[in-house]
Every structure is written in structure tokens, then in C-alpha cells.
Copies of this chain bind each other. A is one copy, B any other.
Amino acid sequence: MTIAAAHAARVPLRRSTPEQRADWLEAVASALDAAAEELIGIAAGETHLPLPRLTGELKRTTFQARLFAQGLRSGELLPVRMDEADPEWGMGPRPDLRRTVVPIGPVLVFAASNFPFAFSVFGGDTVSALAAGCPVVVKAHPGHPLLSRRTAGVVVESLAEAGAPDGAFALIEGVEASLEALRDPRIKAVGFTGSTKGGRALFDIAAARPEPIPFYGELGSVNPVVVTPAAWAERGAAVAEGWVGSLTLGAGQFCTNPGVVLVPDPDGFLKAVDLPVPGRMLTTGLEEGFAAAVAEVGAHQGVRVAAESPANDQGVRSSVLNVAAADVIADPAVLDVEMFGPAGLVVGYTSQDELLEVLRRVPGQLTGTIQGHSSGDDAVAVEVADVLADTAGRIVWNDWPTGVTVSGAQQHGGPYPASTAPASTSVGLAAISRWQRPVAFQGAPDSVLPPELRNR
């Protein structure tokens, strides 16, 4: 019934104006802000995330919705292209052609565990799909069911009050319901944020449907960091401290967590590493997966545990492992293992060639970070950036990959396994294009054209 309602809503949503959709997004943002205290309280109980983090994340979530609303009002999110008729066109007379975008249809969103607001019920996937004019069915993450239900309640109520069509948004729960939705022919695209294993299983189902549909999966990443010799000489201890801060932020539960760092002086680097006791992880499932991943990395050639923090109340420790670049080159599969939690692998390199050899073996990544000389005059950094351009979606300079800003130029995606759709982003205004389908009108009069293509 949920899918039927989404299917029915696709026509009024397609006919809605960008201004109407902007109103709806803003109405939900205001309602979420108004319910902030209640929502954050529920979230804190379910996720163990600290209040400042949850407060900031909700702020980010409503900011994001308003940013899409603003993009709808400015016209930036509705790209049109007009080619007037041209009898002299080089391949023969050209008819009048005007291209716009239409919503792709009902979208299924799989919410993430680690951002209970910003990548969950009313997170980036939902907001960008609604902005595009697509009905959205969200599969709640089982890590925060109460928050999901309460958030969905606020969303449904505020959308209805703002005049959005029935069926524009719905929440479903449970694996079975979500698989049924994934296979439903009325669902036309999927957004997913989570693990490579889980995302790949769902991608395979989407691709095997009688009508295969786009599956936008934001999956795993180890987010390599390169510390150049010049940066090491300039500010080594500060780099090590910055890395630990980014690595252990939020108990390391970020897809942009910098899990691998390549350094020219591993002993010196490790000496500068001071690991904090981690915060409590989101779920016991994540704790178990984290421990297994750390053990898996530790079992690869030449890897040793170099440092560990004391355990937190759940027995989880921050840890740093160490390996030589030569061992990674011999056994590069170690680079495929994402330790989703507060653990990182320090790779010591002995030459620029060895550094680049390791980097070329890194699979597709959301981010790659360069800690280079602050002057920018750093030949190693230039080479590293060139290799990362083959691998990563975002290249970070003298900063850390965690803390992903939402803006027009943001790119959050990359070659597989970072993403199942490397030409798309799941964060930032360009995320809307995942849910838009171009349609060209040839020689059509104003009466038939959508408003944005009519003669002025």
C-alpha cells in the first residue's frame, strides 16, 4: 500500500512547481527544528552519540533541506537547455529542441546507521529526491527505530500541512519489506548508505530486476592520507595529532574516516600518536564488525598492532596498526578492508616510488588526503594528487576528510567500492541529479511544454 501510494503520488509530484517543493522542504525543516529537543533526546538514547554531535547533525540536516529549497527557488536545480531551430546546422536543418528534467519516479532510500539525522529518514537522499519531485520510501535503519518513527511522523505531518500530495513520503521497516520494495516495479531508483557487503547485495537485486534501476550506493572507503616528507619535516607531530583526531572522531564511525596513513617515518609518527579511549559505538553489531575487521587487517602480511588505547565500557579500544609499504605492495588486499571504527593503519614508505606504488593499489575511495608542505611547493604532493585523481572523489589538502560540508561543489562518491555510481554524489546540491531524468521536447508549442521551457 505504501508503494501504491508513492506510485500514485508521482504524477502530482511531477506536476508540482519547484517553488512548491521548496515550501515543502522548508516546512519539514522548520518542524524538525521545532521538535529538536524531543528528537535529540530519542536519538541520544538509541545511538549513544553525544548531545553536541546530535545537535550539530540535526542542524546540518535542516540546513541541507533549506539549501535544496534555495536551489529550487533559484532555478539552479532545474537545468534546462534550449537549442532554437537552425536551418543551417552542419549536419542538416535542426529542429527546435528544449531539454528539461523530470523526476525519475518513486525512490527507495536505505537509511544509514551512523548519521541518524543527516543520512537517515530526512537525510540527503530523501531531501534531494523530494527536491527532484520523486516520492520517497525510506527503509528505517534498525539502529534507531524510535527516532526513525518519530522523525517520519514529523515529516508526514508537516508535508501534509504544507500541501504535499499524499504518498510523497513513507517509512517502512524490516528487511523483508525493504526487499519487497526493492523488487517492486513501481520503484524507479534506490539510494543507499552503508557497508560494501550490504550495499552490493542490494545493488545485485536492483540490477537483476526485469527492469534494472539505478542504484546509488555510498559504500566503503579507507580514505588514504599521504604525509609527504616535506610536511613531515615541517609539522610531523601536529599531523599525527590531527590524524588521530579525525580517526577517532565519533568513535571512527564515519565513511570518510582516514583509515590508512602513508608516512615517511613510521617510528617517529607512531611515537607522536596518542590514542584516546573511544566513545561508545552505535550498536553491538558495529562493535563486532569492527573487532573482526581489525583482526582481518592484522592477519595480512607484515601487519602488527602498534598502539592501543585502554578499553571503553563496552571493551572497545582505539588502535593503530603498522605495516611497511613493501608488505602492502606484496599483499595489497589489506587496503580493501575498512575498519569501521577507531582504528587506522600506518604504512611506512621508504621512497616516492614506493609511496605511489601503494597508492596505485588502493581501490576506489570517497576521499584521499594530502598532508603536504604548507607553502604548496611540494613535488611529492603534486605526484600524489595526480594518482589520487584516478581513485578518489574528493582530494583534501592539509585538512581531514571527516566533516563533509554540504554545498554546490561537494563530491561524495568515487569509483567502486566507494560507490556503485562513480559519476554521482550523495552529498551536496549535485545529489539531485541522481533522481532527475532528462526529457527533450522537439518543436513543441507552449501549450504542451512544461513551464520552464515555454517562450518568455
Contact = CB atoms under 8 A, between A and B. Distances in A.
A440 to B, nearest CB: 4
Contacts of A94: 405, 407
Nearest to A414: B437
Contacts of A438: 393, 411, 413, 423, 425, 430
B212 A416 contact: yes
Contact of A385 (B97, B409, B444): B444
Contacts of A59: 91
Interface string A396-418: 11110001011111110111110
Given A14-B389, A395-B439, A60 B91 contact: yes
A443 B405 contact: no
Contacts of A394: 439-442
A440 B207 contact: no
A445 B415 CA distance: 24
Q: Which of A90, A104, A438 is the most central at the interface, judged by chain B CB atoms within 10 Å of its CB?
A: A438
Q: Which of A56, A213, A377, A396 is the most central at the interface, judged by chain B CB atoms within 10 Å of its CB?
A: A396
A420 B211 CA distance: 9
A395 B63 contact: no
A138 interface: no
Contacts of A208: 204, 207
Interface in A32-83: 56, 59-60, 63-64, 66-67, 81-83
Contacts of A97: 405, 407, 409-410
A403 to B, nearest CB: 8
B441 A397 contact: yes
A131 to B, nearest CB: 15
Given A82-B409, A409-B82, A377 B440 contact: no
A208 B420 CA distance: 12
Interface residues of A, number: 91
Contact of A90 (B63, B102, B437): B63
Contacts of A395: 439-442, 444, 448
B422 A104 contact: yes
A180 B56 CA distance: 50
B423 A95 contact: no
Contacts of A98: 409
Contacts of A188: 415
Q: Which of A207, A403, A415, A440 is the most central at the interface, judged by chain B CB atoms within 10 Å of its CB?
A: A440
Contacts of A363: 211
B442 A397 contact: yes
Contacts of A408: 81, 83
Nearest to A206: B207
A99 interface: yes
Contacts of A207: 203-204, 207-208, 212
A143 to B, nearest CB: 23
Contacts of A91: 59-60, 63-64, 405-406
Nearest to A101: B423
Given A214-B423, A439-B411, A447 B378 contact: yes
Given A11-B390, A99-B430, A211-B417, 8 more contacts: A15-B386, A81-B409, A188-B415, A213-B416, A395-B448, A397-B444, A411-B439, A413-B438
Interface of A: 10-11, 14-15, 56, 59-60, 63-64, 66-67, 81-83, 89-92, 94-95, 97-99, 102, 104-105, 188, 203-204, 207-208, 211-214, 363-364, 370, 372, 376-378, 381-382, 385-386, 389-390, 392-399, 403, 405-411, 413-417, 420-423, 425, 430, 433-434, 436-448, 450
| A-B pairs with lowest CB-CB distance, top 8 | A376-B445, A411-B440, A207-B207, A397-B444, A83-B409, A97-B409, A99-B409, A63-B91
